[in-house]
């Protein structure tokens, strides 16, 4: 699979300072949202398989990703049930909705935008899961779990970039990813803080 020099990509804007405090103040609520995010991520990967059945590299990568995300969902559900919580219905994610609104519908842009939006989302997840893990010092098992999730999200965003470079030239991928990163930074500044991944 094609590789890209990740140093060409814009750095991630910092998560707002109050996000971590909001999550830790309602960690049960965060777990519900985390489970929902993993389930939706698995579904997104399978939708890519359905949309691009003629692209073997996408099919292979997205099938593996769908299974991994579903495994994460299972693990988060175990945490939820171990806390004797009642799983909640999925809620609409305003962050994902806003980013998906950046996907251009024209055929020549659609795949590029789906891949680069997914890379931005996974990159933000890697940052926030790592931030959370660093602040779960009183629960070593939970800390290790979120360290592993953060590492997975890191691999995932790089995977989406690699897939993009396989289908488009590097300058195009870099330019679009950097544009979306700048827009994502503005999106997170406008959204209210919640006990949620995004």
CA distances from 173 to 8, 83, 111, 142 (A): 10, 43, 11, 35
Stated pTM of the model: 0.95
**Chain segment 48-58, per-residue pLDDT in tens:** 999 999 999 99
Residue 138 DSSP label: T
Domain 18-190 has CATH 1.20.1260.10: yes
**Chain segment 174-194, per-residue pLDDT in tens:** 999 999 999 999 999 999 999
Q: How far apart are CA 115 and CA 117, in angstroms?
A: 6
DSSP, residue by residue, 66-127: HHHHHHHHHHHHHHHHHTTPPPPPP---HHHHHHHTT---SHHHHHHHHHHHHHHHHHHHHH
Is residue 118 a contact partner of residue 100, using CB atoms and an 8 Å limit? no
- Residue found under tokens 């799983």: 87
6: confidence class by pLDDT, cuts 50, 70, 90: confident
Q: Read off φ and ψ for residue 196, nearest 5 degrees.
A: -150, 160
Domain boundaries, the chain: 18-190
Is residue 72 a contact partner of residue 38, using CB atoms and an 8 Å limit? yes
Nearest to 30 by CA among 22, 38, 18: 22
* Entry field: residues in the chain: 198
The two three-digit tokens of residue 134, written as one number = 């660093």
4: confidence class by pLDDT, cuts 50, 70, 90: confident
7: confidence class by pLDDT, cuts 50, 70, 90: confident
């Amino acid at each position: 699979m094609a590789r890209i020099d990740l140093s060409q990509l814009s750095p991630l804007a910092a998560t707002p300072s109050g996000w971590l405090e909001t999550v830790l103040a309602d960690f049960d609520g965060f777990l519900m949202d985390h489970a929902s995010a993993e389930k939706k991520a698995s579904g997104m990967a399978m939708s890519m398989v359905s949309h691009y059945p003629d692209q073997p590299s996408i099919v292979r990568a997205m099938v593996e990703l769908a299974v991994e995300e579903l495994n994460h969902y299972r693990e988060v559900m175990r945490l939820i049930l171990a806390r004797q919580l009642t799983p909640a219905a999925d809620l609409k994610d305003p962050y994902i909705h806003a980013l998906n609104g950046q996907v251009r519908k024209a055929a020549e842009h659609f795949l590029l935008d789906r891949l680069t939006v997914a890379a931005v989302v996974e990159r933000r997840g890697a940052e926030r899961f790592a931030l959370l893990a660093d602040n779960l010092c009183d629960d070593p098992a939970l800390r290790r779990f979120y360290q592993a999730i953060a590492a997975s999200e890191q691999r995932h965003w790089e995977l989406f970039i690699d897939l993009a470079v396989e289908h488009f030239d590097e300058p195009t991928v870099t330019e679009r990813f950097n544009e979306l990163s700048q827009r994502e930074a503005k999106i997170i500044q406008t959204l209210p803080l919640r006990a949620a991944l995004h």
